[in-house]
C-alpha cells in the first residue's frame, strides 16, 4: 500500500455518489485511506428537468474507489426515504463497524420564476435538498454520538449565500441547509462531532451541463452548447474561468473530514471563484 493517508482507518458515507461531486468526493476520501459507503437515488425525478445518476454510474464509482485500494459498499437509497437511509447505516455498520464521516451531497436543481413554481416542484426541491440532507445526517448521528466522533459535511451552494433569480426553491433549500448545519454544530460541539457546510459556485457536473440549464443561461440561442454557456458562467465570478472541476470541491471535503479539522465547526466554506469576495 502507499504512504499514510489523512483518513486511514476511517469510514465515510457519501450520498449522491453515482456521479459529479459525490463521485469525486468518494474517490478523494478513498485516496486518503477511507473505506466508503456510496449511495444514490439512481432514478429521475419528474420535476427535475435533467436526468439524474444511474446504477451503472454508481457501479463505476465503486470501481474507482476500489481502484484506490479501499473497500466500497454501494446501495440505491433515496434521501427522501428515512427507512432506506436507516438501512444504509445498519448495513454500513455491519460491513465496516463504524461510520466516521458523512458527506450529505445529494441534491437536485430546477428553474422557474417565483410565481411559476408549482407546489410539486417546490416540494420536491425542499424534500431532496433540505429535508434529504436532514434525514441523511439524522440517520447516522446516533452512531456518531455514541462513539463521540463524527465529521458531518453538507453541500449547500453559493445559492445559499445570496439570492438567485429563477431558483427560489433551490435558494431556499440551500440557505436552509446552512442554518440547519450551524444548529447541529452547536448541539454536538462538545461531543467530538463537527458539522460544516461547503458552498460551491459553478462546478463542472451534469447538474450544470444539460439542455435545461443551457436554455436558462442562453435564452437567445436555439440549441446552446457547452461553448455557448462558458462565457456567461465566466462573467459570474472574478477568476475568468467558467466552472471548477469537482476535485476542487473534494479537496475541501477531505480537509473537513480529517481528524485535524476537529476545531472547525459550524463553518461555511465557500469555494466560489471569488464570486463573493466583494460582498461579505
Ligand X SMILES: NC(=O)c1ccc[n+]([C@@H]2O[C@H](COP(=O)([O-])OP(=O)(O)OC[C@H]3O[C@@H](n4cnc5c(N)ncnc54)[C@H](O)[C@@H]3O)[C@@H](O)[C@H]2O)c1
Applying CB under 6 A, the span of 86-94, 107-115, 142-150, 261-269 interacting with ligand X comes to: 107-115
Q: C-beta of 52: minimal distance to ligand X in Å? A: 3
The verdict on 250 binding ligand X (CB under 6 A) reads no
Out of 33, 53, 112, 176, point to the residue binding ligand X (CB under 6 A). 53
In whole angstroms, give the CA distance from residue 7 to residue 169.
35
Neighbours of 189 (CB within 10 A): 13
The verdict on 19 binding ligand X (CB under 6 A) reads yes
The answer to whether the CB of 117 falls within 8 A of the CB of 162 is no
The answer to whether the CB of 34 falls within 8 A of the CB of 70 is yes
Out of 5, 7, 10, 21, point to the residue binding ligand X (CB under 6 A). 21
- Going by C-alpha positions, the residue among 7, 45, 48 that lies closest to residue 26 is 7
The verdict on 25 binding ligand X (CB under 6 A) reads no
Q: Which of 50, 111, 170, 233 is catalytic?
A: 170
The answer to whether the CB of 125 falls within 8 A of the CB of 239 is no
Q: C-beta of 19: minimal distance to ligand X in Å? A: 5
Name residue 196's beta-bridge partners: 153
Out of 105, 196, 250, 275, point to the residue binding ligand X (CB under 6 A). 105
Q: C-beta of 43: minimal distance to ligand X in Å? A: 8
In whole angstroms, give the CA distance from residue 214 to residue 242.
13
Q: C-beta of 1: minimal distance to ligand X in Å? A: 29
The answer to whether the CB of 23 falls within 8 A of the CB of 59 is no
Applying CB under 6 A, the span of 2-10, 19-27, 93-101, 222-230 interacting with ligand X comes to: 19-27
Q: DSSP states of 63-85 as a string? A: HHHHHTT--EEEEE--TT-HHHH
- Which 3 state secondary structure label does DSSP give 152? strand
Residue with cell 446552446: 224
The verdict on 62 binding ligand X (CB under 6 A) reads no
Out of 33, 49, 112, 132, point to the residue binding ligand X (CB under 6 A). 132
Q: 111 an active-site residue?
A: no
Out of 101, 207, 229, 252, point to the residue binding ligand X (CB under 6 A). 207
Identity of the residue, 136 or 149, whose beta carbon is nearer to ligand X in the bound complex: 136
The verdict on 37 binding ligand X (CB under 6 A) reads no
Identity of the residue, 10 or 174, whose beta carbon is nearer to ligand X in the bound complex: 174
- Going by C-alpha positions, the residue among 105, 201, 98, 115 that lies closest to residue 155 is 105
- Name 3's Cβ contacts closer than 8 Å, sequence gap at least 6: none
Question: Mind telling me the catalytic residues?
Answer: 170
Residues of the shown chain interacting with ligand X in the complex, contacts defined by CB under 6 A: 15-16, 18-22, 40-41, 52-53, 78-80, 105-109, 128, 132, 155, 157, 200, 202-203, 205-208
Amino acid at each position: 500500500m502507499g504512504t499514510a493517508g489523512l483518513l486511514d482507518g476511517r469510514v465515510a458515507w457519501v450520498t449522491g455518489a453515482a456521479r459529479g461531486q459525490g463521485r469525486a468526493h468518494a474517490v478523494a476520501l478513498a485516496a486518503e485511506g477511507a473505506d466508503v459507503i456510496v449511495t444514490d437515488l439512481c432514478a429521475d425525478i419528474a420535476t427535475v428537468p435533467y436526468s439524474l445518476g444511474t446504477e451503472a454510474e454508481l457501479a463505476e464509482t465503486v470501481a474507482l474507489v476500489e481502484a484506490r485500494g479501499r473497500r466500497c459498499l454501494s446501495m440505491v437509497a433515496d434521501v427522501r426515504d428515512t427507512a432506506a437511509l436507516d438501512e444504509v447505516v445498519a448495513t454500513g455498520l455491519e460491513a465496516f463497524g463504524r461510520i466516521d464521516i458523512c458527506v450529505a451531497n445529494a441534491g437536485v436543481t430546477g428553474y422557474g420564476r417565483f410565481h411559476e413554481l408549482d407546489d410539486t416542484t417546490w416540494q420536491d426541491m425542499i424534500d431532496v435538498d433540505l429535508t434529504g440532507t436532514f434525514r441523511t445526517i439524522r440517520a447516522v448521528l446516533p452512531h456518531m454520538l455514541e462513539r463521540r466522533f463524527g465529521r458531518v459535511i453538507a453541500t449547500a451552494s453559493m445559492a445559499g449565500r445570496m439570492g438567485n433569480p429563477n431558483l427560489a426553491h433551490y435558494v431556499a433549500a440551500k440557505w436552509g441547509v446552512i442554518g440547519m448545519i450551524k444548529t447541529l454544530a452547536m448541539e454536538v460541539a462538545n461531543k467530538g462531532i463537527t458539522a460544516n457546510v461547503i458552498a460551491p459556485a459553478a462546478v463542472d457536473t451534469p447538474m450544470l451541463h444539460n439542455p435545461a440549464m443551457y436554455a436558462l443561461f442562453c435564452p437567445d440561442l436555439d440549441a446552446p452548447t457547452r461553448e455557448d454557456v462558458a462565457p456567461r458562467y465566466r462573467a459570474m465570478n472574478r477568476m475568468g474561468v467558467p466552472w471548477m472541476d469537482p476535485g476542487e470541491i473534494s479537496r475541501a471535503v477531505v480537509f473537513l473530514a480529517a481528524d485535524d479539522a476537529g476545531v472547525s465547526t459550524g463553518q461555511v466554506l465557500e469555494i466560489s471563484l471569488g464570486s463573493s469576495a466583494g460582498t461579505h
